Amino acid sequence: MKKVIVITGGSRGIGAATALLAAERGYAVCVNYHQNKKMAEAVVRAIARSGGQAIAVAADISSEDDVVQLFKTTDRELGTVTALVNNAGILERQMRLEDIDSARLKRIFSTNIIGYFLCSREAVRRMSTKRGGAGGAIVNVSSGASRSGSPHEYVDYAASKGAIDTMTIGLAKEVAAEGIRVNAVRPALIYTDIHASGGEADRVERLKEFVPMKRGGKAVEVAQAILWLLSDEASYSTGIFIDVTGGQ
């Protein structure tokens, strides 16, 4: 069976590292992006140079219509999805909860929660043996923030990832008998440019001494955990979490 993977937020950081590694492991890759077409196409070209197959598809995962089209495009150009990595996520400037307004909450929760639900729905509709599918696997990219709460910085982001932890557990149980495994990774201080979105590009450098391993993580280290959870080596694992946190 052809292995086809959709990776949301696949143009940079953890998503891009996962796309490249998935291609190495034999997946045809849909690199989803929201705005950065240039970076997404660069990932696709890198995969093509290595002999793999990939496409870049624009979609705002907080939009139901966009998500439906994302999966239809993948069906048409690559084949039926057998793996999904819910990776796209946003955060905003570091701020205490008392200063957060509802508009910010809606932006964070629409992408980080609703987007994951919508993409998972489309994947399940294609993978479920109950619906005629051949099974598959979903990996959600949560965060160590779901356990720490990110006080004084991103309580809203942390709460959105806590919701994804709960969704991972519930969905895993819901579709376990239908050939679908659902797991999650929880990265912590990883060198990606998402920190710049929060107003502190060097956040990992500031905080790495508090990590037991005394360093920040690399995007590829998260990608390796994701690909293991997608693989047959994890065939009896569902509803579990791998913390990629350097010991935090």
pLDDT digits (tens, 9 = 90+) for 156-185: 999 999 999 999 999 999 999 999 999 999
Distance from C-alpha of 86 to C-alpha of 107, rounded to nearest angstrom: 17
- Compute the distance between CA of residue 12 and CA of residue 34 in angstroms, rounded to an integer: 11
What letter does residue 2 receive in the DSSP assignment?
Answer: -
| Structural domains in the chain, sorted by start | 4-244 (3.40.50.720)
> Does residue 193 have a pLDDT over 80?
no
Is-contact 6 74, C-beta < 8 A?
A: yes
Q: Report d(CA 179, CA 175) in Å as an integer.
A: 7
Mean pLDDT confidence for 181-210:
78
Evaluate if residue 196 carries a pLDDT over 70.
Answer: no
What's the pTM value of the predicted model, to 2 decimals? 0.95
Query: pLDDT category, 200, cuts 50, 70, 90?
Result: low
Structure-token pair, residue 221: 């280290």
What are the catalytic residues? 157
Quick one: 174 exposed, middle or buried, by C-beta within 10 A (0-12, 13-18, 19+)?
Answer: middle
User: Residue 226 pLDDT more than 90?
Assistant: yes
Q: How confident is the model over 85-108, as a mean pLDDT?
A: 96
Q: How confident is the model at residue 211 (pLDDT cuts 50, 70, 90)?
A: confident
pLDDT for the residue numbered 209: 83
3-class SS shares of the chain: helix, strand, coil, % to 5: 50, 15, 35
Q: Give the CA radius of gyration of the chain.
A: 17
Does pLDDT of 81 surpass 90?
yes
Q: How far is CA 2 from the centre of its chain?
A: 21
Task: Give yes or no for residue 195 having a pLDDT over 60.
Answer: no
